[in-house]
Amino acid sequence: MVRRYPWKVILVLNTLVICYVFYQSQQSQPEPGHDRSRKRDATQTSANCSRLKSLISHSTLKILKKEVFFKSVRALQRCWIGKPSNHKLLQKNFQTCCNASYSLVMTQENTLMGQVIQYEPQNRKFRNVTESLHSLLPKKSPFEKPIKHCVVVGNGGILDSSFCGSKIDRADFVFRLNFPPMNRTEDVGTKTDLVYANPSILLSQFNSLRDSRTSFIAMVKKYDSSFILLPAFSFSGYTEVSFRTLYTMEDLDLKSKVVFFNPAYLRKLNAYWRLAGLRFRRLSSGLVMVSVAAEICEKVTLYGFWPYSEDLDGIWIPHHYFDNERPKPEFHSLPDEFYRYLQMHAQGSLRVHLGHC
């Protein structure tokens, strides 16, 4: 029969193929109103994000219950949209108050021989700028040119198992805090351009560099050719150990370069945040570096900033990704500082990244 009527078989097969293709095309087509539904969902999501951002921007941490706050933080991670105009406004505010690009680091340009340095916060403590001190300072600020994308890496336990190292390393400039260990590179990365360090660490962990400096040198080598920023003129007890750190770098020809924090800049930054309503005994090193980055960088992302002992899923985490040593509660206002970061995140001025990458 096939041989006698081949055209009938071909016709039937063609009809089946056409019907099958038509059926499949109909299955892949959206149902009537599907596009409208998707657009409506997107509009609702945008509206929810706007309400959430408004809530964070115009409220305080104290009025939000913990459960509501954690849910809001998680939702904000999905809602973030960078707004360059808001970042520019934040940048301008810091430039007007503090001018980090010129004043952050003591230089031969902004610190003259014979000038009297007033310690911060020891306002009754002074030191004359001698010729020998002046010769230790760089000629100009290393931050005169704007930087495109900066990352500030906090030491929070939220970084543990985050696998954010590769993202951190892709930034143009990476700030780190208080001589962090670099043994979790898959989480914290390896790139380091500036380490802001509290000299108390040099006193407590390295005996003020008076004895063997082997462990200190091994640590600093992991920061490669970074700047080591020390507040040598905040407390009088920090001055000599800061000088000793600088001499150690020079004597051993290490790649890192020690620079001194300008106490005049710190006074201005303290005044800025107090005027903004933040209450604190001392600004944390994290907020200081976030403020610097917001001024000298065109785009800022924060990793490892989370002051709570539970992550966003309610699971216990250590205070630091390398230990659980907590700061003195009366010294810093870490939750309030974090809320300011979150407000800047909600406004699109900078990005706070939490959780896994």
Q: Where is pLDDT greater, at 214 or 65?
A: 214
The yes-or-no verdict on residue 103 having pLDDT over 90 is yes
Compute the average pLDDT of residues 248-269. 95
Report in angstroms the alpha-carbon separations of 305 from 190, 276, 284, 354: 18, 20, 12, 8
Cα gap 269→95, rounded to integer Å: 11
Residue 115 tokens read as: 């000038």
pLDDT value for 276? 93
Q: Which residues contact 163 (CB under 8 A, 6 or more apart)?
A: 186, 187, 356, 357
Positions of E strands within the chain: 116-118, 126-128, 147-153, 173-177, 194-196, 227-230, 257-260, 297-303, 351-353
The yes-or-no verdict on residue 44 having pLDDT over 90 is no
pLDDT value for 122? 79
| Tokens 């976030």 sit on residue | 290
Confidence of residue 285 (pLDDT cuts 50, 70, 90): very high
Residue 183: what residue type? N
Across 174-203, b (16+ Cβ under 10 Å) vs e yields: bbbbbbbebebeebbbebbbbbbbbbeebe
Confidence of residue 329 (pLDDT cuts 50, 70, 90): low
The yes-or-no verdict on residue 42 having pLDDT over 80 is no
Compute the average pLDDT of residues 252-265. 95
Q: Which residues contact 121 (CB under 8 A, 6 or more apart)?
A: 234, 235, 270, 282
**Residue pLDDT, tens place only, 131-155:** 999 999 999 999 999 999 999 999 9
The yes-or-no verdict on residue 221 having pLDDT over 80 is yes
Burial class (CB in 10 A: 0-12, 13-18, 19+), 318: middle
Active site residue 332: yes
The yes-or-no verdict on residue 31 having pLDDT over 70 is no
Residue 226 tokens read as: 């970074």
**Considering only CA atoms, which of 260, 238, 249 is closest in space to residue 213?**
249
List 87, 319, 320, 332, catalytic entry: 332
Compute the average pLDDT of residues 1-16. 40
Cα gap 50→55, rounded to integer Å: 9
Q: What percent of the chain has pLDDT over 70?
A: 87
CA angle (285 as vertex; 282, 288 as ends), nearest 5: 85
